[in-house]
Chain A
């Protein structure tokens, strides 16, 4: 592996574009008028408006959970813009975007990635999807890939059948918030037996300050099909906080396979509070691959509910917490059917006062015989200021279930450093190499381009690291 020591210690995606030409920006805060406004702007059917208003009531009624409140004492729900519409309509050519916006996406490398290896791309900018395009051959297979707002208009039957069935609005306070204020996100339907060979990607960019981004993603892989979805995200650096609170629902029908990869690189002023859950039916497989590098605070526990026999769930995650960051991430596996299996593999690194938390649950319901689950959490703490916590819950209501958990916490080994430095590497290069080796079990599951990107991001963050 090439080891670079480019000086990029700080967040590199922190620029912002002008917001002067935004089409619509309501007042800060969330209330029934704002919700009706959002729904009106989208010209939504009445059922969706009603859904949003009901969810708003749930959001207002639900108290903040104690550990949520503890993690974010400063969050101010009234100081957030809940809907920011940057452009009128959506384009399918990058050069039709306003120049500044196009330049932003060029700098982020999205159009280049699209040309090389993606079957379809949506790009969301604040609240709206501003660009969307599928490869011509994708449509021939019958795969639907579009933004969620378009899906509500054009595929009402499928949307109404599945929307909010995996994560109902009352699931938690932030799912309720998203259900009330959602805008953008991806909708994918893969017909039976169709294998999407190339990944589909969405890129989420926050641009405004005090922005709220509440995208909503729904992926349905019908019987025997497969799809790989990749999302990336970034935001400008501001002194005020932004809020990203997505809801992602996956449905893997019998024998289907969904892989969902996230490279989260929000700027350090973003609260990232996301609810992600999948339903895996008979013999289906769902994999969440989760890289958390950015944000001020991330609280995200991708879940797989295995409802059919022999379903399989997997969460592979890497978290990096630098100065002022708290990555409170984990996974949730519910074994609700016999002979289901799951794997959770979590690697975390904390440095310069950063804090990583693994919080997870493996639940085996009574009657779900023959289940197996294995959870592994490894944490590296790179200096004295940093901290790492592990809270793995196991609730086993079935006799015939084999459930294991193991975790280690360590620093970079002196002997490993010594070995590499005696071969002429600097301490920083050696540390970066060890850390990259530490997360390799996760990076090797990524498409090559993302693996390289993730390794590079980790290396940048290692700048100045001393074991």
Chain B
């Protein structure tokens, strides 16, 4: 497909034999993969035509920094914001450089480690389950250059009462990294996973950094997972990410995404409700400014009776920024008595910004409840007027309204401790405009 992402380059990355073999198998598939274009419906509106893979190269093995929390700048304070946590993994350019876990949980059989240190037997049944069920050119590329990543396993019946934190840091101009997070949660188990992805700014005209990531959440029968991902990439970073969950019988997922950074940041957020009674709640807050494009593709895939899913994505764009929300609710014939809801709301704050919203439904079962709604519009004049008549200056009033707009999503964030810091990040985004 390209001159730099070759089978030889895939082989050169260190790792256990099973991982090298897995990479080479993917590298072989890669030669048959058609590079996507915006002519394809799933890439419509995206910036994939402007993404030139030739400008990137895989991370060289020697390019790793020393291990430690500090190798993910901002990660230290972020981990502190999460509050008391059960475990921590630091991933730099797709490779785990540090991991720790409360020994009491380790004693219960919980593991938090790097993928590359696992044996084949430990991950064989889990790794790739989600990405193989929803492949595209980027998941194949990911598999061909997968160096490692965070692996978290919670055995049957174990409740992890504090969050596990994974910090991703991507640096290195012109590099492509392939972070992977694999979460396997056994029957009747519970865990909260918080991830943050960040990268620095790069000089103007630089290709920046390409992050091609995969997050797999395997939620066993009657297991409960809360998941938060915060994306604060630098303004020249490209991100193409898949986050996909498979839910068993009576399992639940409460997933939330906060997307603030990146030049082009695409997130596919998917839930497969495979077991009867499974529940999925997907929420997101996104805020784009300058030349950013935030691109979300969601899937609520119901393949079992009595399943329930809800989705609420709210975003704002200003300057020349654009956002894309394209979501599908798929109720398969097995999804008898399923309920699925999907809502996307967009605020367009300035002239020149734009939002695309495509909430799709495919319904193949009849005894279901399903609805969706989406809106795109400016700040409501009446609300602005109301606040201004109370003596609140226009900029302040606008700030309040935007924060109020996001409030119902923040209220549903599974880690309440993160609400305040994330609100502050949104405020910073709003204020850059009045400042600049």
Contacts and interface: CB of A to CB of B under 8 A. Distances in A.
B376 A409 contact: no
Contact of B361 (A388, A393, A396): A388
B32 interface: no
Nearest to B333: A384
B357 interface: yes
Contacts of A382: 366
A401 B376 contact: yes
Interface in B358-391: 358-378
Interface residues of B, number: 35
B350 interface: yes
A392 B375 CA distance: 12
A404 B375 CA distance: 4
A396 B348 contact: yes
B363 A399 contact: no
Interface in B333-361: 333, 346, 348-361
Contacts of B41: 66-67
A402 B348 CA distance: 10
B371 A407 contact: yes
B354 A397 contact: yes
Contact of B363 (A366, A389, A394): A389
A239 interface: no
Given A381-B366, A383-B366, A409-B371, A403 B361 contact: no
Nearest to B369: A410
B361 A386 contact: no
Contact of A386 (B346, B355, B366): B366
Most chain A CB within a 10 A radius of its CB, from B352, B357, B360, B361: B361
Contacts of A384: 333, 365-367
A409 B368 contact: yes
A137 interface: no
Given A384-B333, A403-B377, A408-B370, A392 B363 contact: no
> Interface of chain B, helix or strand or loop or mixed?
strand
B39 to A, nearest CB: 9
Chain A: number of interface residues, binned into ranges = 20 to 34
Contacts of A379: 361, 363
Interface in A372-390: 379, 381-384, 386-390
Contacts of A392: 358-360, 374
Contacts of B369: 410
A384 B365 CA distance: 5
A153 interface: no
Contacts of A401: 348, 376-378
Interface string A348-390: 0000000000000000001000000000000101111011111
Contacts of A386: 366
Contacts of A402: 375-378
A388 B363 contact: yes
Interface in A200-215: none
Interface string A78-102: 0000000000000000000000000
Interface string A409-440: 11100000000000000000000000000000
A119 to B, nearest CB: 41
Nearest to A386: B366
7 contacts: A384-B366, A392-B358, A397-B354, A402-B376, A404-B375, A406-B371, A409-B371
Please provide the 4 A-B residue pairs with the shortest distance between their CB atoms, ordered closest to farther.
A381-B366, A390-B361, A402-B377, A409-B370
Interface of B: 41, 45, 333, 346, 348-378
Given A381-B363, A399-B351, A406-B371, 12 more contacts: A366-B351, A366-B354, A384-B333, A389-B363, A392-B358, A394-B376, A396-B346, A396-B348, A396-B376, A398-B354, A400-B378, A406-B373
